[in-house]
């Protein structure tokens, strides 16, 4: 009993009190730290998801829209402005969606499954591209305008489920890694980080890889001759070839254009477009324009010996032409015509636009029989 009255007992009492108070304070502090850690991780995941999904969605959507417009023969305008607009719109949608996700999770203690967002994304994103590429307005008729409006709205709002499934997927992955670490699997985090790093590096390489020489091949005149020779028969029975144009290194949906004249209808001309699959993709009848009499002469099989591929390779041996197919000359446009020049001789005529090393509308001529370089009036 004498121990209670000694200084030692006082120290024991104070120590016990400090221990109880310390444990009491430690619990809320640990909880607060854990809550902050989870909140910080969630915000970090939202930011990463916003940056990743915004870039992927905007670039992929811009490319698909440009492809769809060019595939139907339209002018895509300025893809850069469209890409910038998509980045801004998706940035706003990212903030709104992240706020809704955080509020819903705090209120309902539940999360919308990422797999459902993936399904919603598929059903809202692809109708616009499918209709734009495979169903022209002429085929849809009166439904073209309302369907276009509906699919555009669906396209913009498809970013919301795309962002949600990415963010929720990363959150689920983070929780999976934590569970595996608690279970004693120490290498799970390393494997996940290594996999994500590999995906990011691969995507970066695909985006920023060094540019290679663009494909500048042309379709074969010999392989398409029968199609070209008979291409005007659906227009007039006496139709004959007057000019053939090849488009190397072009983003146009057509690879070859051919023009036909007819003695029975001298006031009209007929043209066809041939795509990469060597199929007629478009036809047009228009009024003729004033041209030299020699230019009206037909192109026959016996009139040429130099094939289109051979002619293109010959043009490539000209230094000034070859400089225009370098990766840095992204705006260079080529048109290689087989027609009759001023002297009436059948020739290959290569014209170049948008190349910084030569003037616009620069032209080079090759004799279609011999392959020799000639002038327009030679």
Please give the backbone phi and psi of residue 77, each rounded to the nearest 5 degrees, phi first: 75, -125
Could you tell me if 311 and 235 are in contact, meaning their C-beta atoms sit under 8 angstroms apart?
no
Runs of H (alpha helix) within the chain: 7-71, 79-108, 114-134, 137-140, 144-157, 159-182, 188-208, 221-230, 308-316, 319-322
Pairing of strands 240-246, 256-261: antiparallel
The yes-or-no verdict on residue 245 having pLDDT over 80 is yes
C-alpha torsion sign, points 339, 344, 347, 351: negative
Three-state SS annotation for 103-154: HHHHHHCCCCCHHHHHHHHHHHHHHHHHHHHHCCHHHHHHHHHHHHHHHHHH
Residues 6+ positions from 250 with CB-CB distance below 8 Å: 333, 334
The pLDDT of residue 187 is 82
The better pLDDT of the pair 103, 315 is held by 315
The residues spanned by each domain of the chain are: 2-208, 221-374
The pLDDT of residue 376 is 75
Q: For helices 7-71 and 79-108, give the axis angle rounded to 10 degrees.
A: 140
The pLDDT of residue 195 is 84
Q: Say how far apart CA 158 and CA 155 lie, in whole Å.
A: 5
The gap between the terminal CA atoms of the chain, to the nearest Å, is: 130
Q: Output Rg (C-alpha) for the chain, integer angstroms.
A: 34
Give the Cα-Cα-Cα angle 245, 251, 257 (nearest 5 degrees). 20
The better pLDDT of the pair 269, 105 is held by 269
- pLDDT tens, 252-276? 667 899 999 999 999 999 999 988 8
User: What's the mean pLDDT when you consider all of the chain?
Assistant: 79
- Span 197-208, average pLDDT: 73
The better pLDDT of the pair 132, 353 is held by 353
> What residue has token string 């670490």?
181
According to DSSP, residue 215 is labeled P
Q: Is 280 exposed, middle or buried (0-12, 13-18, 19+ CB in 10 A)?
A: middle
pTM of the complete model? 0.51
The pLDDT of residue 18 is 44
Three-state SS annotation for 334-373: EEEEEEECCCCCEEEEEEEECCCCCCCCEEEEEECCCCCE
The pLDDT of residue 139 is 72
The yes-or-no verdict on residue 323 having pLDDT over 80 is yes
Of the pLDDT bands very low, low, confident and very high (cuts 50, 70, 90), residue 365 is: very high
Q: Say how far apart CA 21 and CA 15 lie, in whole Å.
A: 10
Q: Say how far apart CA 193 and CA 181 lie, in whole Å.
A: 14
Q: Say how far apart CA 333 and CA 352 lie, in whole Å.
A: 6
378: which 2 tokens?
A: 């030679």
C-alpha torsion sign, points 356, 358, 334, 325: negative
Q: Say how far apart CA 291 and CA 300 lie, in whole Å.
A: 19
Q: Say how far apart CA 293 and CA 291 lie, in whole Å.
A: 6
- Span 230-255, average pLDDT: 86
User: Among 233, 336, 221, 234, which Cα is nearest to 278's?
Assistant: 221
- Torsion, Cα 304 306 312 318, to 10 degrees, reads -110
Of the pLDDT bands very low, low, confident and very high (cuts 50, 70, 90), residue 150 is: confident
Q: How far is CA 219 from CA 255, 278, 368, in A?
A: 7, 8, 16
Q: How far is CA 316 from CA 213, 237, 248, 324, in A?
A: 13, 38, 11, 9
């Amino acid at each position: 009993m004498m121990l209670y009255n000694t200084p030692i007992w006082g120290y024991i009492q104070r120590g016990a009190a400090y221990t109880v108070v310390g444990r009491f304070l430690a619990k809320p502090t640990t909880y607060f730290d854990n809550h902050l850690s989870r909140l910080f991780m969630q915000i970090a995941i939202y930011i990463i998801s916003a940056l990743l999904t915004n870039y992927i969605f905007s670039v992929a959507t811009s490319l698909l829209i440009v492809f769809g417009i060019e595939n139907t023969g339209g002018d895509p305008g300025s893809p850069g402005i469209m890409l910038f607009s998509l980045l801004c719109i998706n940035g706003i949608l990212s903030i709104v969606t992240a706020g809704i996700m955080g509020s819903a999770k705090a209120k309902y203690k539940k999360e919308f499954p990422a797999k459902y967002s993936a399904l919603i994304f598929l059903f809202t994103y692809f109708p616009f591209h499918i209709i734009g590429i495979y169903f022209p307005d002429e085929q849809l008729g009166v439904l073209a305008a309302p369907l276009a409006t509906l699919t555009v709205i669906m396209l913009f709002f498809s970013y919301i489920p795309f962002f949600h499934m990415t963010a929720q997927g990363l959150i689920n992955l983070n929780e999976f890694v934590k569970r595996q670490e608690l279970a004693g699997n120490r290498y799970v985090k390393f494997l996940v980080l290594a996999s994500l790093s590999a995906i990011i590096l691969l995507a970066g390489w695909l985006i920023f890889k060094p540019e290679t020489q663009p494909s500048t091949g042309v379709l074969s005149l010999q392989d398409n001759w029968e199609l070209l020779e008979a291409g005007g028969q659906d227009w007039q029975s006496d139709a004959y070839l007057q000019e053939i144009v090849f488009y190397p290194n072009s983003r146009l949906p057509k690879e070859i254009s051919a023009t036909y004249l007819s003695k029975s209808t001298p006031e009209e001309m007929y043209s066809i477009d041939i795509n990469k699959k060597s199929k007629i993709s478009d036809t047009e009848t228009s009024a003729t324009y004033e041209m030299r009499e020699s230019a009206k002469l037909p192109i026959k099989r016996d009139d040429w010996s130099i094939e289109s591929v051979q002619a293109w390779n010959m043009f490539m041996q000209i230094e000034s032409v070859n400089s225009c197919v370098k990766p840095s000359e992204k705006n260079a446009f080529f048109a290689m015509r087989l027609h009759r020049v001023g002297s009436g001789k059948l020739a290959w005529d290569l014209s170049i636009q948008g190349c910084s090393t030569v003037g616009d509308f620069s032209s080079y001529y090759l004799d279609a029989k011999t392959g020799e370089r000639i002038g327009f009036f030679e």
